[in-house]
Amino acid sequence: MKILLLYPEYPATFWSFKYALRFIRKKAALPPLGLLTIGAMLPEEWPKKLVDLNVTKLTDRDLAWADYAFISGMVVQRESAREIIARCKAANLKVIAGGALFTSEYDQFQDVAHFVLNEAEKTLPPFLADLEKGFARHIYKTPEFCDIRSTPAPLWDLIDLKEYASMSIQFSRGCPFNCEFCNVTTLFGHRPRMKTAEQIIAELDGLYDKKWRGPVFFVDDNFIGNKGYLKNHLLPALIQWQKDRKEIPFSTEASINLADDPALMEMMVQAGFDTVFIGIETPDEESLAECNKQQNKNRDLLESVKQIQRSGLQVTGGFIVGFDNDTPSIFERQIDFIQKSGIVTAMVGLLNAPAGTRLYERMREEGRLIDSVSGDNVDGTTNILPRMGIDALREGYGSLMRHIYSPEHYYERALTFLREYKRPKVRTPLDFQRLLAVLRSSIRLGIIGKERFQYWKILSWTFFHRPQFLALAVTLAIYGHHFRKICELKMTQRVAKS
Ligand code: B12
């Protein structure tokens, strides 16, 4: 059985890093980890080919070669997924679909032969067994969560690692918290399920053996969901692993209570972590109460961010406007918070209600659901009727984004961060591509770009005050260029739509 694994294309979005990747000549930020894992679950003797449309084109020859196409994706890849499915149909190739997009909206895709939903560890074996018997059902789904200690290591051989800026691995799934707008607990459960430290080391070894020396993103919903296991098993193993090798920088996602545990932060830094994404959402206590973000309440959020930065972890953050409780003053307050926090990569979106969340149910009961989520968190759309009124919300959102991503304020924030940040233990290696990126950025941003004044200002400040962060300053400048382009693009798209 010849299997074609297909990963749809992302539109240009905040997290696509499209305009930043050009500087380092990479095609995509991260690999399609779900499909690489599926690849490892399929019978070894089946020939497999993976086409990540973010990296390469899907050809008619690929379609003609295969017996089945396995497609994955997230909501943001919906359009590309539809196109791929249509091409498969035209080529008479049966499609099997799974992953987050299809698990949440399989009823929107008519031309898929089989949906293998939820976690494939649970649903793929019965599907494969039925397929062999010749009577596979249309839908396989389950309310149960798997034990990820049985999840195989991703089949790295299916991709060309050089095309990606970072690799990813997954240590745990699930989150102990219960935020009203988040579908992680519906999709992956409350009790964090973890792989063993040995599994993670084996996965890292797999990457290292394939000569990967770049950054690795731990794609956990909340990396610190089980602090005991981290401190006693995984982090000591990672610290040892880094000692034995050329060091590899790690990043991940966690909740703000990380700031309450200096020992944990210290161990994470020792283990090679340099960046952590945190859902900050809002500085407004009432809005935090509204969305049940307990872990962010009753604390000095700004100080918590600083504590994490001072420990050697860069904080990237998610913010939301459009809570029921929000008044038009929220935009200024968010700007103030973001600027003071030194969170350079600040992803701000409108409150959305993804299917499967408690917010979705509440909005439905209140008759305020209007659409499905676009999956693009900075396109200024929402699938709910906001209390503030959609026009006021969009206008405030637009001015907030223009403010924080203007060269003046973006670089000001980067400087605030560089002042606070403690040097991490492990540093991203300066390879030839990165050196070229410095050169390209000094031309693109330092000569042609409208941010040229701020660009040279931050580089000279860093050179004289914190020279160890020069490469980081250039990276932040490149990210800023990407975020600004995305904001401009989304603004134009919004104007065109209205
Ligand atoms: C890494 C990640 C990203 C990366 C994507 C990198 C990449 N190339 O895939 C980045 C940071 C870019 C990203 C961005 C976004 N993400 Co994201 N992301 C994740 C995260 C944390 C991990 C995904 C992962 O690699 N998991 C590990 C693999 C092994 O698991 P998996 O992909 O789920 O695959 C399993 C099953 O789903 C299934 N499966 C998967 N594919 C297939 C295919 C077939 C055929 C079959 C049978 C089974 C199957 O089997 C696998 C093994 O169990 C998840 C949360 C999570 N826990 O999954 C969110 C998640 C996937 N993201 C989500 C969203 C919404 C986004 C955003 C759209 C918005 C946002 N939250 O920021 C953005 C937009 C993307 C963009 N370009 O702008 C949602 C998806 C919701 C949905 N219904 O689609 C999730 C679930 C988080 C959440 N609750 O919000 N994301």
- Does the beta carbon of 392 sit less than 6 angstroms from any atom of ligand 1? no
The overall longest dimension of the chain from CA atoms, in Å, is 70
Atom of ligand 1 nearest to the CA of 97: 45
Alpha-carbon torsion angle 391, 358, 377, 305, nearest 10:
110
122: Cβ–Cβ under 8 A, 6 or more apart, which residues? 142, 144, 145, 146
Ligand 1 centroid to 33 CA: how many Å? 9
- Does the beta carbon of 75 sit less than 6 angstroms from any atom of ligand 1? yes
Ligand 1 centroid to 100 CA: how many Å? 6
Query: In the chain, what percentage of residues exceed pLDDT 70?
Result: 99
Give the mean model confidence (pLDDT) for residues 128-156.
Answer: 96
Q: Which pLDDT belongs to residue 142?
A: 96
From CA 43, how far away is CA 227, in angstroms rounded?
A: 36
Angle (CA) 425-429-431 rounded to 5° is: 170
Atom of ligand 1 nearest to the CA of 28: 8
Is residue 112 within 8 A of residue 72, CB to CB? The reply is no
Give the mean model confidence (pLDDT) for residues 438-449.
Answer: 84
Strand-pair partners of 167: 216
Element (H, E) at 52: strand 48-52
- Does the beta carbon of 98 sit less than 6 angstroms from any atom of ligand 1? yes
Ligand 1 centroid to 74 CA: how many Å? 6
Q: Which pLDDT belongs to residue 436?
A: 79
**pLDDT tens profile 240-256:** 999 988 789 999 999 99
- Does the beta carbon of 175 sit less than 6 angstroms from any atom of ligand 1? no
Q: Tell whether the model's pLDDT for residue 323 goes beyond 80.
A: yes
- Does the beta carbon of 335 sit less than 6 angstroms from any atom of ligand 1? no
From CA 36, how far away is CA 33, in angstroms rounded?
A: 5
Ligand 1 centroid to 370 CA: how many Å? 24
Q: Tell whether the model's pLDDT for residue 186 goes beyond 90.
A: no
Query: In the chain, what percentage of residues exceed pLDDT 90?
Result: 83
Q: Which of 293, 274, 269 is nearest to 282 (CA)?
A: 293
Report residue 389's pLDDT band, with 50, 70 and 90 as the boundaries: very high
Ligand 1 centroid to 91 CA: how many Å? 28
Identity at 271, one-letter amino acid code? A
Question: What are φ and ψ of residue 361, in 5° steps?
Answer: -65, -45
Burial of 266 from C-beta contacts in 10 A (0-12 / 13-18 / 19+): middle
Ligand 1 centroid to 76 CA: how many Å? 10
Pick from 219, 255, 372, 374 the residue to mutate for probing ligand 1's pocket: most ligand atoms within 8 Å of its CB. 219
- Does the beta carbon of 188 sit less than 6 angstroms from any atom of ligand 1? yes
Q: Are strands 3-7 and 68-71 parallel, antiparallel or unpaired?
A: parallel
Report residue 431's pLDDT band, with 50, 70 and 90 as the boundaries: low
Identity at 219, one-letter amino acid code? V
- Does the beta carbon of 407 sit less than 6 angstroms from any atom of ligand 1? no
Nearest CA to ligand 1 atom 13: 15
Q: Which pLDDT belongs to residue 429?
A: 62
Ligand 1 centroid to 416 CA: how many Å? 32
Nearest CA to ligand 1 atom 28: 34
Ligand 1 centroid to 40 CA: how many Å? 18
Q: Which pLDDT belongs to residue 385?
A: 96
Long-range contacts of residues 381-390, Cβ cutoff 8 Å, at least 24 apart:
381/350, 381/352, 382/322, 382/350, 382/351, 382/352, 383/352, 383/353, 384/322, 384/351, 384/352, 384/353, 384/359, 386/322, 386/324, 386/350, 386/351, 387/324, 387/325, 387/326, 388/322, 388/326, 388/327, 388/328
- Does the beta carbon of 74 sit less than 6 angstroms from any atom of ligand 1? yes
Q: Which pLDDT belongs to residue 318?
A: 97
Whether the CA torsion 413, 418, 424, 429 is positive or negative: it is: positive
- Does the beta carbon of 483 sit less than 6 angstroms from any atom of ligand 1? no
Question: What are φ and ψ of residue 120, in 5° steps?
Answer: -65, -25
Q: What is the model's pTM?
A: 0.95
From CA 382, how far away is CA 367, in angstroms rounded?
A: 14
Nearest CA to ligand 1 atom 53: 119
- Does the beta carbon of 9 sit less than 6 angstroms from any atom of ligand 1? no
Is residue 470 within 8 A of residue 463, CB to CB? The reply is yes
Ligand 1 centroid to 379 CA: how many Å? 19
Nearest CA to ligand 1 atom 22: 219
Ligand 1 centroid to 367 CA: how many Å? 29
Please spell the DSSP secondary structure of 361-403, one letter per residue: HHHHHTT-B-S---S-TTS---SB--TT-HHHHHHHHHHHHHH
Token pair belonging to 311 = 């420990």
Give the C-alpha distances (Å, rounded to integers) separating 458 from 71, 240, 415, 435. Answer: 44, 36, 7, 18
Nearest CA to ligand 1 atom 32: 34
Atom of ligand 1 nearest to the CA of 188: 57
**pLDDT tens profile 257-266:** 999 999 999 9
- Does the beta carbon of 15 sit less than 6 angstroms from any atom of ligand 1? yes
Give the mean model confidence (pLDDT) for residues 75-99.
Answer: 97
Nearest CA to ligand 1 atom 65: 375
